[in-house]
Amino acid sequence: MAMKIIVCVKQVPDTNEIKIDPVRNTLVREGVPSILNHDDSNALEEALKIKDSNPDTHITVLTMGPPQAKELLVECLAKGADEAVLLSDRALGGSDTWATSNALSAGVRKLGDFDIIFAGRQAIDGDTAQVGPQMAEKLDIPQVTYVTDFDIADDKKSVTVKRALEDGYEEIKLQMPCLLTAIKDLNAPRYMSVNGIFKSVNKEITVWNAADLGVTESQVGLDASPTKVFKSFTPAVKGKGIVVVGDTDNELARQLLSDMKHKQII
């Protein structure tokens, strides 16, 4: 039986030093290149791995965002996803995690049956890690967050996952359909392929607005969002440390010297 997988992704600004509009308390996105959120690329990769071993698997990538989020969806298709859906509407703008999960859950219901929803643990621009778990609650399916290892049962009815904790792991078996949130350790995301690019650029991307989703002003958008941003600020930048690697003391010292020379410290 062909499996159906939905991967929830988000387009995020590619910067560690996010600029904030001091008046609106929202992120300034102009002039900042956008990328696929890191954890979401792990979510997509896990779905693609299932498709590698079960070629009849159907992967739908789902995102909510402005029209330019289509660019990100094309990249997901070029990596091997089958279908892409964009939820885009002015009425969805300003949604917090609660409102976002309302919209995405409505999108999932409209897509119909599915076996697994993969999402990234959290987005680098908001760091809330709430949307995935909220969706699972709203769709009334089991969920596991921080998935670092994944195995699907032969009967394709359940999955066994390893959940990362601060000081160890949990191994959890759960029935499908389910929702899993991926972390970086789960896998190494693949690149697009040239052929994938040429096949995906002109592929049609489904766009649904609030009316298509059947969601109302009380469920989505800025006014419906219970979270109000009180203050946004850029944390002080801390220099990134480096780890010198090498097998012998000599090698370590040589590497350290070369790095210091490179940075013109010595």
Partner 1 sequence: MNFNLTKEQELVRKLAREFTVNEVAPIAAEIDEQGRFPMETIEKASKIGLMGMPFPEEYGGQNSDYISYIMAIEELSKGCGSTGVIVQTHCALCAWPIFTYGTEEQKQKYLPNLLSGKHIGAFGLTEPNAGSDAAGLQTKAVDMGDHWLLNGSKIFISNAAVADTFVIMAMTDKSKGTRGITAFIVEKGMEGFSVPKKESKMGICGSVTSELLFENVKLPKENMLGQLGKGFKIAMSSLDVGRLGIAAQALGIAQGAFDETVEYLKSRKQFGRQLYKFQGLSFEMADMKTRIDAARLLLYRAADLRQKGLPSTTEAAQAKLFCSETAMHVTTKAVQFHGGYGYIKDYPVERMMRDAKITEIYEGTSEVMKMVISGSVFK
> In this structure, are residues 87 and 208 in contact, taking their beta carbons and an 8 Å threshold?
yes
Taking the least distance from each CB to partner 1, the nearer of 52 and 217 is: 52
The span from the CA of 208 to the CA of 29, in Å, is 23
How do strand 158-165 and strand 168-175 relate by DSSP bridges?
antiparallel
CA 16 distance to own-chain centroid? 17
- Closer of 24 and 261 to partner 1 (Cβ): 261
Question: Measured between alpha carbons, how far is 181 from 164 in angstroms, rounded to an integer?
Answer: 11
The phi-psi region of residue 83 (left if phi > 0; otherwise alpha if psi is between -120 and 50; otherwise beta) is beta
Cβ contacts of 183 within 8 Å, gap of 6 or more: 39, 42, 121, 146, 147, 148, 164
Residue 259: CB minimum distance to partner 1, A: 10
**In the complex, minimum distance from the CB of residue 46 to partner 1, in angstroms, rounded to a whole number:** 18
Shortest Cβ 27–partner 1 spacing (Å):
23
Q: Where are the beta strands (DSSP E) in the chain?
A: 4-8, 11-13, 34-36, 58-64, 83-87, 116-120, 143-152, 158-165, 168-175, 178-182, 206-208
The CA angle 16-121-180, to the nearest 5 degrees, is 160
Nearer to partner 1, 23 or 188 (CB): 188
Minimal distance, residue 159 CB to partner 1, in Å:
27
Q: How far is the CB of 7 from partner 1 (least distance, A)?
A: 19
Round to whole Å and give the CA distance between 29 and 39: 20
Which residues lie near partner 1 (CB under 8 A)? Answer: 74-75, 78, 190-198, 201, 258, 261-264
Of 52 and 170, which has the nearer Cβ to partner 1?
A: 52
CB of 75 vs partner 1, minimal distance in Å: 7
Q: Which is nearer to partner 1, 201 or 242 (CB)?
A: 201
What one-character DSSP code corresponds to residue 43?
H
Please, which residue, 28 or 260, has the CB nearer to partner 1?
Answer: 260
CB nearer partner 1, residue 75 or residue 89:
75
Query: Shortest Cβ distance from residue 185 to partner 1 (Å)?
Result: 18
